[in-house]
Amino acid sequence: MMENYWKMVHMRNAKNNKMRKALQFYPLTDFKNPSEIHRLYLRYALDSHSILDFGAGDLSHKKFILQHGYNGTYKTLDISSGFTYDYKDISEVKEAFDLVFCLEVIEHLSLDTFLNLLKAFKKILNKNGKIIIATPNAYHVNFFWAADITHIRPYPCHDLCNLLDIHGYKNIIFHKVTRRTPLMKLFIKKILTHFLEVDYATNICVIAENS
């Protein structure tokens, strides 16, 4: 990683990746009325013939996608013993996918593990296949990423995009993601965090394409 350090510094300062509009989310319990970020996930899913849900957790995301008409191949991967998954480790995966979901996972991983994962994803993604990564926002005013004892490290949005770029991904975009809140309260948050030089959004979502 150190051999790319100054390249990353230059890319970070250049700010080549444009931040898209902030999307709102709330817990995925009401599948009939999904939040903006979940509608974004669904749109990419419905455009894909095959999906790998990396870090599938309680399988609620799979249930959400299937309930909204997805009829392609949907495989799951997780190390948990609480549910049944198709895979336990990325090394087991021998098939290719159009889309990989990696939602609220990387904050549980060391940098070296994550970098190896980016290489592994490239091998199992079809050409022009998409990866969607969601993670707590490192710049959030309350250090949202550190609110869980199992979180190991933050992944700042520009550095995350630059890592994807360095590893050969293209067409990288990212969104801020904030919890659903009244418009006036969100406006006040934006103003206050601007002057504090922190961020109001609790999460970020990065979308990239395999070359």
* pLDDT tens across the length of the chain (211 residues): 555 666 656 666 565 455 566 667 666 777 788 888 999 999 999 999 999 999 999 999 999 999 999 999 999 999 998 899 999 999 999 999 999 999 999 999 999 999 999 999 999 999 999 999 999 998 888 777 777 888 999 999 989 999 999 999 999 999 988 887 766 666 667 777 777 777 888 899 999 999 9
Dihedral sign for Cα atoms in the order 198, 26, 76, 20:
negative
pLDDT of residue 33: 84
The identity of residue 151, as a single letter, is H
- In angstroms, the CA 56 to CA 167 distance is 24
Write out 163-199 in H/E/C secondary structure. HHHHCCEEEEEEEEEEECCCHHHHHHHHHHHHHHCCE
CB-based contacts of 112, cutoff 8 Å, min separation 6: 1
Task: Please state the pTM of the whole predicted model.
Answer: 0.86
Residue 145 to residue 65: CA distance in whole angstroms: 26
The enclosing H or E element of 51 equals: strand 50-54
Structure-block tokens of residue 26: 């709330």
From CA 29, how far away is CA 47, in angstroms rounded?
23
CA distance 193 to 54: 33
Residue 178, pLDDT score: 86
DSSP letter at 38? H
pLDDT recorded at residue 27: 67
Q: 142: Cβ–Cβ under 8 A, 6 or more apart, which residues?
A: none
- Residue 155's pLDDT is 94
CATH number of 35-210: 3.40.50.150
Q: Specify the pLDDT at position 7.
A: 62
Q: Which residues contact 206 (CB under 8 A, 6 or more apart)?
A: 132, 133, 134, 157, 160, 161, 164, 172, 173, 174
